[in-house]
């Protein structure tokens, strides 16, 4: 896939606010601060298209982007950040659950895990949900630049084993060095059936 155009469409909380287009859609999910918005920026090669922040809890709404007038990327708000207000935390789960269960054009999910953290209940539950619903997904280990190459390999082996997957089924990524970007683009192409373009 060559990214020619990127357009921010809208933010939404509930299904009635989702855009009505039916482009194939890929959603990005993971713990707050894991690097979801940074990954989307790296994929679309726009430094600041999606707002990122060192402070967790930056993305609080469901944000829709259209790529090449043909594909939709969705930046989901992050979970698991204790310091956002109780109201926001209470809204997160229904907001994301509704999205995952109701969005008919959702073709696949990209689940991000910080390479330095072991998968926790939220990640294991998400993987189980994806398996149960037969929704294709990619697992990305973010912030790989924080570790040496040897440590990266060790973490890739350990995290993939904890998720019951092959080592290469989890992709090492860094938004700083762009390590893994091309692999993720290829995997997304495969997921949506565009690998011939
Ligand atoms: P929420 O919107 O709060 O859920 O966070 P998010 O998952 O969208 O994370 P975001 O992309 O805003 O990144 C959070 C912080 O981590 C920012 O300070 C980023 O610069 C930093 N960050 C993201 N990806 C990487 C990476 O690959 N390497 C390093 N070193 N820092 C990163
Ligand atoms: Mg974000």
Percent of the chain's residues with pLDDT above 70? 90
Residue 154: both structure tokens together: 């060790």
pLDDT in the model for residue 32: 86
Any idea where the domains of the chain sit in the sequence? 6-191
Digit-coded pLDDT (tens) for 64-86: 999 999 999 999 988 766 555 66
What is the atom index within ligand 1 of the atom nearest the CA of 59? 2
Angle at 38 between CA 33 and CA 42, to 5 degrees: 160
Between the CA of 197 and the centroid of ligand 1 the distance, in Å, is 30
Q: Is the pLDDT of residue 103 over 60?
A: yes
Q: Is the pLDDT of residue 90 over 70?
A: no
pLDDT in the model for residue 56: 66
Residue 140: both structure tokens together: 């990305």
Nearest ligand (C-alpha, residue 79): 1
Helices (H), the chain: 36-44, 86-102, 121-132, 149-162, 181-192
- Of residues 183, 172, 197, the one with CA closest to residue 67: 197
Ligand 2 is an ion; its neighbours by CB within 5 Å are: 36-37, 58-59
- For ligand 1, pick from 27, 28, 33 the residue to mutate: most ligand atoms within 8 Å of CB: 33
Question: How far apart are the C-alpha atoms of 112 and 127, rounded to whole Å?
Answer: 11
Question: How far apart are the C-alpha atoms of 25 and 2, rounded to whole Å?
Answer: 17
pLDDT in the model for residue 196: 55
pLDDT in the model for residue 145: 98
Lining ligand 1 with CB less than 6 A are 30, 32-38, 52-54, 56-59, 77-78, 142-143, 145-146, 174-176
Architecture of domain 6-191: 3-Layer(aba) Sandwich (3.40)
Residue 70: both structure tokens together: 């043909």
Q: What is the mean pLDDT of residues 99-128?
A: 94
Contact 119, 149 (CB under 8 A): no
pTM of the model: 0.92
Q: Is the pLDDT of residue 105 over 80?
A: yes
pLDDT band at 26, cuts 50/70/90?
very high
């Amino acid at each position: 896939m060559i990214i020619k155009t990127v357009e921010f469409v809208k933010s939404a909380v509930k299904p009635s606010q989702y855009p009505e287009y039916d482009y194939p859609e890929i959603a990005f999910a993971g713990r707050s601060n894991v690097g979801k918005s940074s990954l989307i920026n790296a994929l679309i090669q726009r430094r600041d298209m999606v707002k990122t922040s060192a402070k967790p809890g930056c993305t609080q709404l469901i944000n829709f982007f259209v790529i090449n007038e043909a594909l939709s990327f969705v930046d989901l708000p992050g979970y698991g950040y204790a310091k956002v207000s109780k109201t926001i935390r209470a809204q997160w789960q229904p907001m994301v659950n509704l999205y995952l269960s109701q969005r008919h054009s959702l073709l696949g999910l990209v689940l991000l895990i910080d390479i330095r953290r072991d998968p926790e209940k939220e990640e294991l539950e998400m993987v189980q949900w994806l398996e149960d619903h037969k929704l294709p997904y990619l697992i990305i280990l973010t912030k790989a630049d924080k570790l040496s190459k040897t440590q990266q390999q060790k973490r890739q082996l350990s995290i993939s084993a904890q998720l019951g997957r092959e080592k290469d089924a989890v992709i090492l990524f860094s938004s700083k060095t762009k390590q893994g970007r091309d692999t993720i683009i290829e995997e997304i192409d495969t997921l949506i059936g565009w690998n011939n373009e």
